[in-house]
A and B are shown apart, each in its own frame.
Chain A
Amino acid sequence: MVKVVLKEVSKYFGKVRAVDNLNLEIKDGEFVALLGPSGCGKTTTLLMIAGIYKPTKGRIYFDNEDITDLPPKDRNIGMVFQSYALYPHMTVYNNIAFPLKLKKTPKHVIHEKVVKVARLLRIDNLLDRKPSQLSGGQQQRVALARALVKEPDVLLLDEPLSNLDAKLRIYMRAELKRLQKELKVTTIYVTHDQVEAMSMADRIAVMNQGKLQQYAEPNILYDKPANIFVAGFIGNPPMNFIEGSIMEVNGEYYFDSGVFKLKIHRSLGEMISSKTEEAILGFRPEHIKLVTTKAPNAIKGIVYVVEPLGRDMVVNIKVNDTIIKALASPEIQLTPGQQIYIILDERKIHFFNKSTGEAIV
């Protein structure tokens, strides 16, 4: 139960900057998700916190104590590795018991704890097996049990649920979250899966190419993405982006994409044009209203493809050469080739600086 602080931490492998100047503070008992595409440095970050890798630069603190040079065994960390890393020569029981044996815990206490955590993770019937006799999902739960059994101060989870089937994954998400709250253990959870991150984490750190993009609560990432990367990464289907420029005509402001002009509020227009001329307009598929008749300040397009998703459908709309995705309820009858009008809610659109990618509003 500690606070974890990373101060200007970098890790280079030769020329590769796996992690680049990362500042991160994880509060005592907080559940933080590390989210980012493959190769962005998530595992490297965990391994530095665990003490396996020494940062090339920067310091790491547990509760204000500098632990950058402390060996892994003195950090009291529980970790689930991306590859599970179960010991192939030990039974499931011995795998889970291993951290306790190293602590010289009495035998009967070990037995109690192993059985308890195994029951919790529904692997108590597998204790005599070797890891090679388990399915991927079972192996993942054994790895989780091994990380939990030592009652760690910090729990590091590297995609611990990636191999479970959908049903078990949802059960394990809830279970893990409940467990984490109950044990109040500071947790860093690595995942590719934004739904997982959004539904489980108190805060999410989005990384790309070794750099921290944004670190905030899930709803803030969604509502106020800090840059175009976060905006495009969070949300499914992803946000639509259209390049263009801001122009002023007779005191009225427009976003001009070259194909259509979108009238925007004066204060918004002034703010954007004070920062940049070239802007990128972003809006989420779920914030689009589709109408079949011409409306003021609507963007005209042609229905291209309709993908039904059950509850909703994704409508691909062709506006000149760009495809815009919109989420619509299946009640509207749409046929490809049909003309359609897109209405945007000005409170829910985003503008990004084209050269830096930073969000303007």
Chain B
Amino acid sequence: MRITRAVMKKIIPWLFLTPVIIFIILSWVAPVALTLYLGFTDLSIKNFLAFIRDFFTPEVHITLENFEKIFFGGDPYLPEVLKITIIYVVSVLAINAFYSLILSISIAYFLKHDYLSLFLRVSWLLPRITPGVIYALMWNWFIDPRYGMLNTLLSLAGIPKEMLPQSWLLDKPYSQILMIMVNGYIGASFGMIVYTAAIKSIPPDLINAALVDGANEFQVARHIIIPLLKWPIFFVVAWQTLSLLASYEQILLIWGAGGGGGYAGIARAAGVMVWALYSYSKAFSEYQYGYASAISVVLVVVGIALILIYFKLFGFSRLMAPSKVEV
């Protein structure tokens, strides 16, 4: 059989895409399907062994109980988790999408010194290129009430001793502030990469024209730079909400290091139990696999709904061009 050029042209892209598609199926579609299935079961430590031996074991029952528990108040702690998750996502998002915007404009525009600007940009990248475990450890040292630098620095800054927490890890709301700082510092670098690239791609003549038209530096930022960053801002907000909703690694790494009742207990006591971590702890410290899966399913559904809303609002193709400046 002769394969024509046209056919080859159609086949070759798929040939290259196949490994990726297989990878996506194995790493995303399959787990989601499995989670979805488990969400409708009563899988727990009691029937786990049987389930491992036989996927279709009669000991695992199909049930709606998990979702009833989530939506009809069967889990009294869940509203608290929801509240913490919202605080977490909204505040870290504020840092990652908006505080990082202010930082980027300061670094890439107000700061006329090129090398200093480069240095600052790199220093904000440090947490992102530091391995997560080391980053968490550094925070643990930093916040240690006796040996850490944080309390020392704060008292040097004139904050009275009584206002400093005994333990940054455990005392609310300090623990929650810590949670936001830890994640905000990492996440801000993402927005900064996108924003500084976009700011640097604004034609200098536009800014010069605004200056000649009578704008001061702040008016340039407000009337020219920020409106031109509309799409990068939308992109960062969309991307960050989704990744924040599903993230819990840093919280787990920092609050999971404590002894005693295990990370689940500590995170709960510290008020840093976000939705994704709650699911994780239900599964791996309380072994309620079915219920944990149901919690995750809710997260996946919320995530997909958000993606659809974002695509609808901002247009798919525009979101796919991250550093686009509207010129």
Q: Enumerate chain A interface residues (CB-CB to B < 8 A).
A: 47, 50-52, 71-73, 75-79, 81-83, 85-89, 98-99, 102-103, 146, 150
Contact = CB atoms under 8 A, between A and B. Distances in A.
Contacts, number: 66
A111 B182 CA distance: 50
B41 to A, nearest CB: 52
Contacts of A78: 212
B209 interface: yes
A83 B327 CA distance: 12
Contact of B210 (A71, A82, A87): A87
A77 B209 CA distance: 10
Nearest to B206: A85
A81 B205 contact: yes
B208 A47 contact: yes
Contact of A52 (B212, B216, B227, B327): B212
Contacts of B227: 89
B223 interface: yes
Given A50-B208, A85-B203, A146 B327 contact: no
B78 interface: no
Given A73-B216, A87-B206, A98-B223, 13 more contacts: A47-B208, A71-B216, A72-B208, A79-B209, A81-B208, A83-B205, A85-B205, A85-B206, A88-B206, A88-B326, A88-B327, A146-B209, A146-B213
A79 B206 CA distance: 12
B214 interface: yes
Interface of B: 203, 205-206, 208-216, 219, 223-224, 227-228, 230, 326-327
A103 B214 CA distance: 7
Q: Which one of B210, B214, B216, B227 has the highest number of Cβ atoms from chain A below 10 Å of its Cβ? A: B214
Contacts of A85: 203, 205-206, 208-209
A98 B211 CA distance: 11
Given A47-B208, A52-B208, A89 B230 contact: yes
Contacts of B219: 102
Given A50-B208, A52-B208, A102-B219, A87 B224 contact: yes
6 closest A-B pairs (Cβ-Cβ)? A85-B209, A85-B205, A99-B213, A102-B214, A72-B211, A89-B227
Given A52-B212, A99-B213, A102-B215, A89 B228 contact: yes
Contact of B211 (A71, A82, A86, A88): A71
Nearest to B325: A88
Nearest to A74: B214
Nearest to A102: B214
Contacts of A71: 211, 216
Nearest to B209: A85
Contact of B212 (A77, A86, A88): A77
B211 A52 contact: yes
A279 to B, nearest CB: 45
Contacts of A83: 203, 205
A76 B326 CA distance: 28
Contacts of A99: 213-214
Given A79-B209, A81-B209, A88-B327, A73 B230 contact: no
Contacts of B216: 71, 73
B326 to A, nearest CB: 5
B215 to A, nearest CB: 6
Contacts of A81: 205, 208-209
A20 B209 CA distance: 25
Contacts of B208: 47, 50, 52, 72, 81, 85
Nearest to A158: B205
B212 A50 contact: yes
A118 to B, nearest CB: 17
A82 B203 CA distance: 12
B211 to A, nearest CB: 4
